[in-house]
């Protein structure tokens, strides 16, 4: 049991103290096709249910004459924040009677927010700011890691290219060195042939 309680405590996030009759705006994170956005659902809390990490609350609103109700887990990570716009004076824990009312009859008497609710909202905002800073730091660390990996890969690609260039240069130099003595031997042969022809011409002239 202790282990279960510890796990539940880890899942609990700081949330404002809500109750039936509160008019709230629920900020829900939604992912669609690789894109992220926040959807805001504003309405009246008609009931809260459960306790601990399994606590849920039901929000109701009327849109174009149609009543819409959504049940949210209070400590779900996809709910980024819950903002209480105002509190209402009610005598019941579950406001099911609002389902059968429309217009002015569905309105609730406004009540000043308690100090506990205001403090809990401030704590929630502080925690959200901390989480955002942590996410920014983590993203920065991840970007640095990616940049390092990319630079290492580029270095690995450049090294074999440099080796190939040096090997090509060495092979060309060896070829040139091998060709030099051949050229010199050819020149000497040509010179000897020229000398032989010159001597033959001289001998012919003398004999004539």
Q: How far is CA 111 from CA 73, 75, 90, 151, in A?
A: 25, 26, 9, 61
pLDDT surpasses 80 at 11: no
> For the chain, what is the radius of gyration of the CA atoms?
43
pLDDT at 59: 93
Q: How many CB atoms lie within 10 A of CB 58?
A: 19
Provide the pLDDT for residue 16.
84
- For the chain, domains (ranges, CATH) are 2-99+108-113 (2.30.30.790)
Three-state secondary-structure class, residue 202: helix
State pLDDT tens for residues 113-142: 777 777 777 777 777 777 777 777 787 888
pLDDT tens digits for 84-109? Answer: 888 888 888 888 888 888 777 778 88
CA distances from 139 to 84, 133, 134, 180 (A): 31, 10, 9, 62
């Amino acid at each position: 049991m202790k282990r279960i309680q510890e796990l539940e405590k880890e899942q609990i996030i700081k949330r404002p103290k809500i109750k039936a009759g509160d008019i709230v705006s629920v900020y829900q994170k939604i992912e669609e096709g690789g894109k992220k956005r926040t959807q805001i659902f504003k309405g009246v809390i008609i009931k809260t249910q459960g306790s601990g990490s399994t606590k849920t609350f039901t929000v109701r609103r009327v849109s174009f004459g149609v009543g819409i109700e959504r049940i949210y887990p209070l400590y779900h990570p996809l709910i980024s924040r819950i903002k209480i716009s105002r509190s209402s004076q009610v005598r019941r824990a579950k406001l099911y009677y609002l389902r059968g009312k429309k217009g002015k009859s569905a309105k609730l008497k406004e009540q000043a927010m308690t100090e506990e609710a205001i403090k809990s909202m401030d704590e929630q905002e502080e925690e959200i700011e901390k989480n955002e800073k942590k996410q920014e730091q983590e993203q920065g660390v991840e970007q640095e890691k990616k940049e390092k990996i990319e630079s290492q890969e580029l270095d690995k690609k450049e090294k074999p290219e440099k080796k190939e260039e040096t090997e090509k240069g060495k092979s060309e130099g060896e070829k040139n060195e091998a060709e030099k003595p051949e050229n010199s031997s050819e020149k000497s042969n040509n010179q000897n042939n020229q000398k032989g022809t010159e001597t033959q011409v001289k001998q012919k002239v003398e004999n004539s």
